[in-house]
Structure 1
């Protein structure tokens, strides 16, 4: 009966998980009582939710119902009272082929959609902005190389300063990005393995010392979105929140200026400085060889 109870619990969880969340807000915050994925705020998360709700959940639900039905049928049909004399055979070739081939086919179908989602994560559009993220014990450091914003440290807001529902989520120096722009995120670590995770954007990328991993997102709306380190990185692992503020382009430009940066990429600024503003005119004196310079010798007669 334990197996029956476990199967029934799994089926119940699968059915509830496929329903919309209760009282989920739209600002990238976890909600008490919520049982669904956080609402999507980027294209990648939309695809991840579709893969979960349309491919995985129906497959899991059907498999759970099938297993539950088989267990109930076996318990009712083949208990000692209903079947006092059990059969003596132990193999059925057809059943063994079915339960070997059918799971393989299910996994192949799931893998096709899984690979498509994986390719979407790796097929990053041309980025409008690059942010370097470094995980430290125990905080995050952000740097904007294209805008010349130097690395700054983001730590958890104290309990008395953060709203109660955002304690251990709100940060004193959040990452700031413009809405509707493709943001390339370069993720690394300075000491141990961390993980940069932002549920509303569908991000979860390992931060590994000596290695730079790459991911991307494009925020669809303004607001504040919250995540946390998702790798057990030490005693203060629970105190490494990630806050991303998505703002308008004008607000982002003002924030960059306040940080001492510029909206003109460094590469363009360097190239512009290297080009002279005026090209000196070619004079006759500059075109004529100097008198001090000897005239080229005539070729020797053959």
Structure 2
């Protein structure tokens, strides 16, 4: 099925290429436009993309607080690099541990508390499988992979409780 279709298409392309080359049709100006125009489009897209990438890299360097977030199956570990000895694990509360009004599958036993109105750099990695650390209400989502350190800088504009979650199905009871 697929092999015969690919073979027929490949044969057709070879035949048509030799057939039209033998006619000696010259469209040099058209070929030049078809080469230069896409190149100019790519360059026009590349310049703003590289400038934003450079700006984003500089923004990560200017942070007042660094929090290393490590994803594990069924919990997250938080380590404040600027405050020695401040590290803890955050497990999702089971249904029987929830108090009235606490959301199921979002509430944890140890919350990560950070100040507002300062630039905080989050360094996200994984200790085992692929995770995805997310704060949906702040539009933050970063993949956490073992051996790779993903970073994002953010300044929380208001005081509040923002529920994070793993947006990757990493096993039963993923947090």
TM normalised by structure 2 equals 0.64
The structure whose RCO (Cα within 8 Å, separation 6+) is larger is 2
The alpha-carbon deviation at position 235 of structure 1 amounts to 1.9
Which of 145, 160, 170 in structure 1 is aligned with 2:107?
A: 170
In the alignment, structure 1 residue 133 sits paired with structure 2 residue 69? yes
- Partners of 2:120 and 2:130 in 1: CA distance: 23
Q: TM-score, normalised by structure 1?
A: 0.39
SS at match of 1:185: strand
Give the match's secondary structure for 1:200.
Answer: helix
The aligned length equals 132
- CA 175–109 in structure 1, closer or farther in 2 if over 3 Å, else same: farther
Q: Matches of residues 84-103 of structure 1 in structure 2 within 5 Å?
A: none
* Structure 1 portions without partners, runs of 5+: 1-104, 241-302
Structure 1 residue 113: Cα displacement: 8.1
Separation in 2 of the partners of 1:142 and 1:135? Answer: 9
CA offsets 1:152-209 (integer angstroms, 9 cap, x no match): 1101123242444611111111111111111111111111010111122221111111
What does residue range 279-294 of structure 1 map to in structure 2 within 5 Å? none
Q: How big is the alpha-carbon RMSD for the aligned residues of Structure 1 and Structure 2?
A: 2.7
Aligned to 2:94: 158
What residue in structure 2 maps to residue 220 of structure 1?
157
Query: As a proportion of its length, which structure holds more strand?
Result: 2
- Structure with the greater alpha carbon radius of gyration: 1
- Give the conservation status (yes or no) of the 8 Å contact 2:74–2:92: no
